[in-house]
Chains A and B, each alone.
Chain A
């Protein structure tokens, strides 16, 4: 495609299927991981990423040409893609790994995403903006977006709480949450953004949209198709329960509470 000043934007949103945030997880008896035979759903930060992509299109109308979602995971991750499609994404890519495969690391995922972006570019669908969650709520690593930006050699804005695209200027202004306040960044497109909780409130997919999502295309690929190896570099030796904390019981009134505080050495500071 011939690039023009008003070339329309393509957005890619990587999503991850995680144990649902409300589930109280249990470590398995072998201490190799957690019991995953529980409810799963889309990583909450990724929902926010999908929502933001859809909202950008609602705001910028046809200046956003496509919203593609991608997931890397076992066969069941396809459900997560369908959820994203029902929220308003146009098409999906499922990079499927076997159920038995160890969880890929952020570096492997970032390499796979870069390979996918390269493929999209070759197909004339160059991606201008990648929006990811700031962290997955299972491994809590918070690395993939930054690693992807590094591999692509583009700018990054992490923990975004506000996103404004200037389509003509080919830049994106992002307000990001940092320790002690906020920072405003301006990234040249293409860029990578990761979402903070405050970016937006994700919508529920309506039943008609869920039905429509079933007809939207999902392309299936394997890591080998993309020429990437997702074998972890780090070794997980053990997964254990954290030390249990036991509640110390209740007191009946404020006097007893103050007495307990004083007993522990907490008095009014001078």
Chain B
């Protein structure tokens, strides 16, 4: 039964390639938080445009959320049209309730050749679920891509082994719809353009009455600082910060003076010095700011995976042999409890 389904999909791909002269049409899943489009979704939009075809946006949420965001979405450069769907069940979307909408949208006869999203926690839950329902693979966390219309294949690069190798992967024509998520630091965010106005199209939500999963509640960490994934400057602390109190006391003044986001190594998060939403690394956030200051971080492979694409890396560490110095552009061997306050003072001048 499985085999017959994939065969069926393959046949559909062939007919479509023939009929539409292989012009890609990407559907971009646009996320929003508190009335703003997620910066990572703007990056996904840029990646979708690199396929070289038409791009359609998809926005879901409660009617309030969607109503508040469509003006912004409409003005995004590169979007020809925007599909939007409102339902209370999309207010806190979970894959079990969102997937059916996309399945319906992508069922046979749909014009879409690619489905794109930021590599966000929402998409990490949704895309594989959707892909499996459609008997398709999905490619996670891509850093570059190119589409070849003549063979209807798309080639992606993505980091593997915590960024210590880069794999080049091709989704051939036998994959009729290519699903992928995009690393938020790999492309620049799509700009807004007041001259454009994408066509809006309402989409009926697909009601899921008997979802196996129920959203109970959400706890978001509040912060006045820039969002870690999108910040241009990041100040990050490791185990050497000793405890939650000194972590805050030491890093906050420096982050304030630089207008930077605060990050942390896994060691600092595991020890409870910092909230885990601040973790930078293979299993945390991947950042690529203009400036990354690593304080008391030794530089384990898993941490480097999350920050080594930063433009300028500064490291302060007591241990002159710490691996972080192998990637740091500027290193200072010293006690961070002395160095950081002095640095704050001198930067203020």
Binding site for B on A (CB under 8 A): 19, 21-22, 24-25, 27, 34, 105-107, 110-111, 134-135, 137-151, 153-159, 161, 173, 177-188, 191, 196-198, 229, 233-242, 245, 247-258, 260-261, 264, 266-269
User: A264 — which chain B residues lie within 8 A by C-beta?
Assistant: 291, 312
With an 8 A cutoff between CB atoms, is B122 at the interface?
yes
Known: A159-B124, A180-B33, A233-B175. 19 other contacts (CB 8 A): A24-B301, A151-B132, A156-B96, A157-B213, A177-B276, A178-B121, A181-B220, A187-B213, A187-B214, A198-B276, A234-B137, A241-B166, A247-B328, A250-B333, A251-B332, A257-B332, A257-B339, A261-B330, A269-B259
For A144, give the chain B residue with the smallest CB separation. B128
Number of interface residues of B (CB under 8 A): 94
Given the known inter-chain contacts A25-B161, A150-B132, A233-B175, please indicate yes or no for A239 contacting B213, CB distance below 8 A: no
Partner of B168, one of A142, A236, A257: A236
Given the known inter-chain contacts A180-B220, A257-B343, A261-B314, please indicate yes or no for A25 contacting B257, CB distance below 8 A: no
Binding site for A on B (CB under 8 A): 2-3, 33, 92, 94-96, 99, 120-122, 124-133, 135-141, 155, 158-172, 174-175, 211-221, 227, 229, 233, 257-259, 266, 269-270, 276-277, 282-283, 290-291, 301-302, 308, 312, 314, 320, 325-334, 339, 342-343, 346-348
User: B277 — which chain A residues lie within 8 A by C-beta?
Assistant: 177, 179-181
The CA of A34 and the CA of B137, in the complex, are separated in Å by 23
User: B211 — which chain A residues lie within 8 A by C-beta?
Assistant: 155
Secondary structure of the B side of the interface? mixed
Partner of A107, one of B132, B259, B312: B132
Given the known inter-chain contacts A147-B129, A179-B277, please indicate yes or no for A268 contacting B257, CB distance below 8 A: yes
User: A191 — which chain B residues lie within 8 A by C-beta?
Assistant: 212-213
User: B135 — which chain A residues lie within 8 A by C-beta?
Assistant: 107
* Residue from A21, A150, A236 whose CB has the most chain B CB atoms within 10 Å: A150
The CA of A180 and the CA of B219, in the complex, are separated in Å by 8
Closest Cβ–Cβ distance, residue B196 to chain A (whole Å): 28
The 3 A-B pairs of least Cβ separation, nearest first, read A269-B259, A155-B212, A155-B213
Given the known inter-chain contacts A21-B302, A179-B277, please indicate yes or no for A248 contacting B347, CB distance below 8 A: no
Partner of B129, one of A156, A234, A242, A257: A156
